[in-house]
Amino acid sequence: MKRTLPVTIAILVLAGGSARAHHSHPDFRLDQRVSVEGDIEQLRYANPHMLLRIRTAEGVLYTAEWQAASWLEYHAHVTLTTFRVGDHVVVSGAPSRDPSVHELVELKEVRRPRDGWSYSVNQDGQPGVAAAPKR
């Protein structure tokens, strides 16, 4: 018992620290928001985060990190079939501190203008999804 308690506490502290570090995004300007518009070139619908690779009209490739796939499905009804490669989208999120890094995190808005589908986060951090026609 004397040995297991300190080891257990150390594991819990380290696990908690890595979870905070994972979600802290120190390389991003969390107080700012930028929008990127383009076509989805690649989707990774997975945990711990859904990733969208978006190519702008200027040819710049951005990576946008969204919530976990399981969270999006449960809270925002975003599933494997919500988006497809080639969909034209507008996303808004926190940009990298380095302008040469084309990444966004903590997406606050995702829109698909073609059919009016949209996702946004309100002041309380709760998601809202506008229904769109089925494809």
Of 18, 19, 15, 24, which Cα lies nearest the Cα of 105?
24
pLDDT at 47: 86
Report the predicted TM-score, pTM, of the whole model to 2 decimal places.
0.76
The secondary structure element, H or E, covering residue 5 is: helix 4-24
Domains and CATH numbers, the chain: 4-130 (2.40.50)
| CA 4/CA 47 separation, integer angstroms | 31
Q: What is the mean pLDDT of residues 50-67?
A: 96
> 3-state DSSP call for residue 60?
coil
Predicted confidence band of residue 7 (pLDDT cuts 50, 70, 90): very low
Segment 71-112, tens digit of pLDDT: 899 888 899 999 999 999 999 999 999 989 999 999 999 999
Judged by DSSP in three states, 131 sits in coil
For 94-103, give one letter per residue: b (16+ CB within 10 A) or e: bbbeeeeebb
Higher pLDDT, 131 or 70: 70
Map residue 16 onto helix, strand or coil.
helix
Indicate if the pLDDT at residue 18 is higher than 50: no
Q: Quick one: pLDDT at residue 23?
A: 53
Average pLDDT taken over every residue of the chain: 81
